[in-house]
Amino acid sequence: MTTTTLPAYDDAVATFEPVIGLETHVELGTNTKMFCGCPTDFGGEPNTRVCPVCLGLPGSLPVANKAAIEATIRIGLALNCSIATWCRFARKNYFYPDMPKNFQISQYDEPLCVDGYLDVEVDGRTVRIGIERVHLEEDTGKTLHVGGATGRIHGATESLVDYNRAGIPLVEIVTKPVPGTGALAPEVARAYVTELRDILRGLGVSDVRMEEGSLRCDVNTSLNRPGEEWGTRTETKNVNSLRSVERAVRSEIIRQASVLEAGGRIVQETRHFSEETGDTRPGRSKEEATDYRYFPEPDLVPLAPDPAWVSALKAALPEPPRVHRKRLQESWGLSDLDMQSVVNAGAVELIEQTVAAGATAAAARKWWLGELARRANESGIELSAVGATPAQVAELQTLVDGGKLNDKLARVVLEGVVAGEGDPTAVMEARGLAVVSDTGALTAAVDAAIAANADVADKVRGGNLAAAGALIGAVMKTTKGQADAKAVRELILQRLGAN
Partner 1 sequence: MSDLTKLTAAEIAKRISDGDVSAEEVTRAHLDRIAAVDGKVHAFLHVDADGAIAAAREVDAKRARKETLGPLAGVPVAVKDVLTTKGVPTTAGSKILEGWRPPYDSTVVERLRDAGTVILGKTNMDEFAMGSSTEYSAYGPTNNPWDLGRIPGGSGGGSAAAIAAYEAPLAIGTDTGGSIRQPGAVTGTVGSKPTYGGTSRYGLIAFSSSLDTPGPCARTVLDAALLHEVMAGHDWRDSTSIPQPVPPVVEAARRGMTGDLTGVKLGLVTQFDAGEGAEPGVMAAFHDALAALTKLGAELVEVSAPHFQYALPAYYLIAPSECSSNLARFDGVRYGLRVGDDGNRSLEEVMSLTREAGFGPEVKRRIMLGTYALSSGYYDAYYGQAQKVRTLITQDFNQAFEQVDVLVSPTTPFVAFPFGSRTSDPYQMYLADLFTIPTNLYGGPGISVPCGLSDGLPVGFQIMAPTMADDRMYRVAAALESAVGTLTPPSLEG
What phi and psi, each to the nearest 5 degrees, are found at residue 177?
A: -60, 140
Phi-psi region of 293 (alpha: psi -120 to 50; beta: other; left: phi over 0): left
Do residues 392 and 354 make contact, with C-beta atoms less than 8 angstroms apart?
no
- Residue 295 interacting with partner 1 (CB under 8 A): yes
- Residue 57 interacting with partner 1 (CB under 8 A): yes
Distance CA 48, CA 27 (A): 19
* Nearest approach, Cβ of residue 301 and partner 1 (Å): 5
Distance CA 353, CA 388 (A): 12
Name beta bridge partners: 282: 271
- Residue 300 interacting with partner 1 (CB under 8 A): yes
- Residue 155 interacting with partner 1 (CB under 8 A): no
Binding piece for partner 1, criterion CB under 8 A, among 23-31, 49-57, 70-78, 437-445 = 49-57
> Between residues 63 and 430, which has the closer beta carbon with respect to partner 1?
63
> Between residues 159 and 398, which has the closer beta carbon with respect to partner 1?
159
Residue from 6, 14, 63, 146 binding partner 1 (CB under 8 A): 63
Do residues 202 and 318 make contact, with C-beta atoms less than 8 angstroms apart?
yes
Burial of 320 (0-12, 13-18, 19+ CB in 10 A): middle
> Between residues 82 and 102, which has the closer beta carbon with respect to partner 1?
102
* Nearest approach, Cβ of residue 159 and partner 1 (Å): 7
Angle between helices 424-431 and 407-418 (to 10 degrees): 110
* Nearest approach, Cβ of residue 153 and partner 1 (Å): 8
Distance CA 124, CA 102 (A): 47
Distance CA 20, CA 90 (A): 27
Residue from 8, 67, 161, 498 binding partner 1 (CB under 8 A): 161
Phi-psi region of 152 (alpha: psi -120 to 50; beta: other; left: phi over 0): beta
Report the alpha-carbon angle 63-69-71, nearest 5: 140
**SS3 call for 267:** coil
Do residues 271 and 252 make contact, with C-beta atoms less than 8 angstroms apart?
yes
Residue from 43, 298, 420, 440 binding partner 1 (CB under 8 A): 298
Binding piece for partner 1, criterion CB under 8 A, among 246-254, 298-306, 453-461, 480-488 = 298-306
* Nearest approach, Cβ of residue 101 and partner 1 (Å): 5
> Between residues 100 and 424, which has the closer beta carbon with respect to partner 1?
100
DSSP string, 334-391: --HHHHHHHHHTT-HHHHHHHHHTT--HHHHHHHIIIIIHHHHHHHT--GGGSS--HH
- Residue 169 interacting with partner 1 (CB under 8 A): no
Rounded to a whole number, what is the largest CA-CA distance in the chain? 100
DSSP string, 279-290: SEEEEEE-SS--
* Nearest approach, Cβ of residue 237 and partner 1 (Å): 21
* Nearest approach, Cβ of residue 127 and partner 1 (Å): 34
- Residue 60 interacting with partner 1 (CB under 8 A): yes
> Between residues 300 and 357, which has the closer beta carbon with respect to partner 1?
300
**SS3 call for 24:** strand
* Nearest approach, Cβ of residue 233 and partner 1 (Å): 20
Do residues 205 and 29 make contact, with C-beta atoms less than 8 angstroms apart?
yes
Q: How do strand 103-106 and strand 169-175 relate by DSSP bridges?
A: unpaired
Helices (H), 103-224: 185-203
- Residue 452 interacting with partner 1 (CB under 8 A): no
> Between residues 52 and 380, which has the closer beta carbon with respect to partner 1?
52
- Residue 55 interacting with partner 1 (CB under 8 A): yes
* Nearest approach, Cβ of residue 96 and partner 1 (Å): 9
* Nearest approach, Cβ of residue 58 and partner 1 (Å): 4
What separation in angstroms does the CA of 108 have from each of 22, 172, 293, 300? 17, 11, 10, 14
- Residue 86 interacting with partner 1 (CB under 8 A): no
Residues 89-108 that bind partner 1 (CB under 8 A): 91, 93, 95, 97, 100-103
* Nearest approach, Cβ of residue 97 and partner 1 (Å): 5
> Between residues 228 and 299, which has the closer beta carbon with respect to partner 1?
299
Residue from 7, 58, 124, 420 binding partner 1 (CB under 8 A): 58
Residue from 23, 67, 144, 159 binding partner 1 (CB under 8 A): 159
* Nearest approach, Cβ of residue 305 and partner 1 (Å): 16
Chain positions contacting partner 1, by CB under 8 A: 52, 55-64, 91, 93, 95, 97, 100-103, 153, 159, 161, 291, 293-295, 298-301
